[in-house]
Amino acid sequence: MLVNPKKAEKRPWEMFFIGAFYATVSLLLVKWIFSGDPVLSKYTGILVVTFVVMFSIPFIYYAIKNEEEKDLQIKGFKLLLKEHTKALTYFMFLFMGFIVAFSFWYIVFADGNQNFRAQIETYCIINKPAYFEECVSEYGIKHVSKTTAFLTAKDKIVNIFANNIYVLIFTLVFSLLFGAGAIFILAWNASVISAAIGIFSESNLANLPLGLMRYMIHGVPEIGAYFAGALAGGIISIAVIRHDIHSEKFWIILQDSLNLVILSVVLLFAAALIEVFITPVLF
């Protein structure tokens, strides 16, 4: 009732503040309710993401439903892509709201590393696999689990692209099975990126803009790819419920979703190239 997809299409920038609000309330709820619990305090990073998902699911569901209806009303890939771009735009603003809020509170809270325990471990697995235990200890996390083998610079672009495709597949599967369920994967990625930004900013708010720039240069096309994949899977999921899978309408929707998946793969490859060749030069 407070925010709907049709309103968001007209003023997509408002979704930034909605995302920041959802992330802030989620983090505060987890901090005040679960941080003192001897068991659940170990999983606050997951609980934060869970609350963000619960806040976001109603909007995401109706947004995907709205896009599925467009598939039946509009003909032609270019026109459909133009309409889907509106949804991708407000999804991006929502995601950016998550990232900015999470990054801000990571720096503000002195115990921010405990609120993002799982995210920091994920950051270290990706960025310092050969020194995993030292990495997590450096950022205040104890009793870590496991490490992985060192990845050479030669294989970096392949591994980044492969990892991104892996996330895209999970996003597609979640959206196919649960409709709006892909928001869990996307919210989780937002929290991991935020932890990385907080680490890069050295827990100094003055460095936050630089940290955001550091990760958003390649993050924007990467995030856009995930949302395109989520949209594709979600549209198919709703189409299966609302239409006969043997009808002509369903195959029109399936073709549109396939185009979105192809767009996602292209965006992910571009993001990998930017991350390997451009971001290190600038930062």
* Cβ contact 112:106 at 8 Å: yes
| Residue extents of the structural domains in the chain | 5-282
pLDDT at residue number 149: 45
pLDDT greater than 50 at residue 63: yes
**Size of the chain, expressed as the number of residues it contains:** 283
Q: pLDDT: is 166 or 266 the higher one?
A: 266
- Cβ within 8 Å of residue 178, ≥6 positions away: 237
The rounded distance, in Å, linking the Cα atoms of 253 and 240 is 10
The rounded distance, in Å, linking the Cα atoms of 109 and 203 is 9
Q: How many CA atoms lie within 13 A of 160 on its CB side?
A: 21
The rounded distance, in Å, linking the Cα atoms of 27 and 116 is 10
- The tens digit of pLDDT for each residue in 184-216 reads 888 998 998 998 898 888 778 888 999 899 889
- Cβ within 8 Å of residue 229, ≥6 positions away: 168, 171, 172, 175, 182, 260, 261, 264
pLDDT greater than 90 at residue 52: yes
What's the burial of 183, exposed, middle or buried (CB within 10 Å: 0-12/13-18/19+)?
buried
The pTM of the full predicted model, rounded to 2 decimals, is 0.83
Which amino acid is it at 279?
T
The rounded distance, in Å, linking the Cα atoms of 95 and 212 is 13
- The tens digit of pLDDT for each residue in 218-245 reads 889 999 999 999 999 988 888 887 766 6
Residue 207, Cβ neighbours under 10 Å: how many? 16
